[in-house]
Amino acid sequence: MSLDAFLLRMPKVELHVHLEGSIRPATLLRLARRHGIELPARDEAGLREWFRFRDFEHFVEIYLTVSRCLLDGDDFHALTLDFLAEQARQNVLYTEAHFTISTHLAHGVDPDAAADALAAAAAEGERRFGVRLGLIPDVVRNVGPEAADLTLEWALAHRGDGVVALGLSGSEDRFPNEPYREHFAEAERRGLHRVAHAGEHAGPESVRSALDVARAERIGHGVRAVEDPALVAELARHGVPLEVCPTSNVCLGVYPSLADHPFDELRRAGVPLSVNSDDPPFFNTTLSGEYAALAATFGYGADELAGLSLAALRHAFLADAERAELEARFQEEMRALGEELLGQPVAVS
């Protein structure tokens, strides 16, 4: 059997994927028809073609169109359950997904209805598929402090409904982090984890700012840290994980190709890394496909790829007991899959 079959069935954790950006064409079509919203295409094949990445402006157009189709609890339930079914197909046992609640509030969505629907779908997904979901509501740099106030309020109110962290996203190259310092300080005071998109469209200074202003425990993307050797050494020394999305970085023009991507350089420098898909339908990828692309580009074998999967688990915002239980399961499944599909056990540590 092939390495691809091993990667599809390998137990995985995903830490950087956007819930709205994970919507499949069939789901979007169903929601748009339900609300009488006109889309650029009338069938799945047409939507798949429309989803095909062209440029950043087109990406934003799709994202905003998806958001306009998410109007009530039933919509959020359908989106989330469909996402968890796909994660289960790839044996992604735990996911921390970004979710931009402020966009939906601006469209008139009831905040409690959205939270209730997300929590119900997460519970159903765990019951039906055996996969778990944590949510990371995002403060969007572009939108301003008032929307950030609402995001923080929603995040703190719904920690018991699956919220695990406060995120920072938006245009890092055009909007500063400083206006949100107090939001992340309050999140830290209230025991909420913090993550931040940085080092994607802006350079190492963006990563340093995210660590300072947002007190980020993980950096979303972060790959342009490679431009500052001192920062790379600091990330490695302090064990600050980067949530790397290789295909997204290529599609969005951060690097011209996977061969030019610094994933392997960062890995060899000792920076903790996880593999992620970001907005999989928009970039025509999957989490399993990201692992396969790294194998093809950098020559990683099953042991190294399994080690990256285990690293993602170790970077997750899970209680120690839950992490230990999942790690034991990962180790056992990886060994068994290696023997079944590759003819030898997979050894990870």
C-alpha distance from residue 133 to each of 84, 94, 123, 165, 254 (Å)? 8, 6, 9, 12, 29
C-alpha distance from residue 59 to each of 50, 53, 110, 251 (Å)? 10, 7, 26, 10
* Cβ-contact 11, 62 below 8 angstroms: no
200 given a catalytic annotation: yes
At 141, give phi and psi (nearest 5°). Answer: -55, -40
Rounded to 10°, the helix 204-213/229-238 angle is 40
Active-site residue among 200, 227, 325, 333? 200
Per DSSP, the three-state class of 261 is coil
Nearest in space to 254 (alpha carbons), one of 199, 309, 311, 319: 199
Count CA within 13 A, CB hemisphere, residue 210.
Answer: 37
The residues carrying an active-site annotation are 200
